[in-house]
Amino acid sequence: MRHLQQSLGNITMTSLKLKTLLASLALAASGMAAAQNSLLNVSYDVAREFYKDYNTAFTAHYKKTTGKDVKIDQSHAGSSAQARAVNDGLDADVVTMNTTTDVQFLADNGVVAKDWAKKFPHDASPTTSTMLFLVRNGNPKNIKDWDDLIKPGVQVIVVNPKTGGNGRYAYLAAWGAVREKGGTDAQAAEFVGKLYKNVPVLAKGGRDATATFLQRNQGDVLITFESEVVSVEREFGKGKVDAVYPSVSVTAENPVAVVERTVAKKGTGDLAKAYLDYLYSDEAQEIAAKHAIRPRSEAVLKKHADQFKPIKQFTVAKYFGSLTEAQKVHFNDGGQFDKLYTPGAK
């Protein structure tokens, strides 16, 4: 092996050594940074803006109350991908997800506490969101509620439930809407089947769905999280889309949890708890409202009533038991969603 390297020239050898040295320096540097009072928050995709503001607020608050400096690292990717990463060894101190199944997965694997939902108020969800419709400016197809989505000629853009929490909530919202009106599960299944017949493209994720709807000009209506609307307007400009609130929609909880496995090793248990506790403070709830995420605090919600229109919501638990159960029944392979696409099974 050494002979071959010699043949290729000492230059290659030296540059290889140089670059390995550089790499190890970089590794050491990042390791050193972690040794200070630091916290890794593993979160979901579109939460970056929110956590950027929140982290600034929290570090100030922490310094004021304890006099200590703290460095907060953020990691953002798809919620389930993040859960898998933490399960496979990513050293998160806290996880802040947008689907309860992901935190439950970690609990089942002993990474977070089994009773994680009881450790913080409101089932450990300081914020929520809901699903609504985005239609073209002026609402040319006059889409007001769920029933309008199954009309012939209406094209619906939605996220693939198999690959995104956004998509799963859209599906559950549609299903639950039928149940809320007094329908049976069979009627709900029929409705959802008709709905997905009107879907020309299953987007990979929330952002992809928005791009398909707004940039590729596909579809007449986009079902997505309420919190996406602010981002959409910022990127594409106001006035391109109208937000339509259906009569009823589902509550999408944003659960948070301390990663016991990591804090036991790093000794950051108190810091992690303080970090998550502060999410329920008025300051944090205000920041959430600013980013179109529904706060739990009634006071803050009322203050921003023009942004968060009142909408009748049902929880996942009401019709599906829990998101984990819904996952098993509807979204896992062979489940209800798959049945929609297997020929013969309507």
164 touches 97 (CB < 8 A): no
Residues 206-225 within binding reach of other proteins (CB under 8 A):
206-208, 210-211, 215-218
* Interface positions, 148-207, toward other proteins (CB under 8 A): 160, 162-164, 199-207
Q: Is the Cα torsion angle 225, 230, 236, 242 positive or negative in sign?
A: positive
What's the closest the beta carbon of residue 7 comes to other proteins, in angstroms? 5
Choice between 234 and 312, CB closer to other proteins = 234
Residue 21 in contact with other proteins, rule: CB under 8 A: no
Angstrom distance (rounded) from CA 51 to CA 73: 10
Judged by CB under 8 A, does residue 77 bind other proteins? yes
User: In sequence order, which residues have a C-beta less than 8 Å from that of residue 333 and are 6 or more positions away?
Assistant: none
* Helix, strand, coil distribution of the chain in percent, nearest 5: 55, 15, 30
Segment interacting with other proteins, rule: CB under 8 A, options 8-16, 143-151, 185-193, 300-308: 8-16
**Stretch binding other proteins (CB under 8 A), from 135-143, 177-185, 228-236, 299-307:** 228-236
The DSSP symbol for 336 reads H
CB-wise, 205 or 246, nearer to other proteins?
205
Residue 87 touches other proteins, criterion: CB under 8 A: yes
H/E stretch holding 295 reads strand 294-295
With binding defined as CB under 8 A, does residue 336 bind other proteins? Answer: no
Distances (CA, A) of 107 to 88, 262, 271, 297, 331: 13, 13, 20, 27, 20
Q: Residue 110 or 121: which CB sits closer to other proteins? A: 110
Cβ 125 to other proteins shortest distance, Å: 21
Pick out residues in 104-143 that bind other proteins (CB under 8 A): 105, 109
Contact with other proteins (CB under 8 A): which of 16, 60, 264, 299? 16
Distance CA 80, CA 105 (A): 9
Minimum gap (Å) between residue 264 Cβ and other proteins: 12
Among 62, 70, 82, 272, contact with other proteins (rule: CB under 8 A): 82
Q: Which helix (H) or strand (E) holds 86?
A: helix 79-87
Determine the Cα–Cα distance for residues 313 and 295; give it in Å rounded to an integer: 14
CB of 192 to other proteins, least distance (A): 14
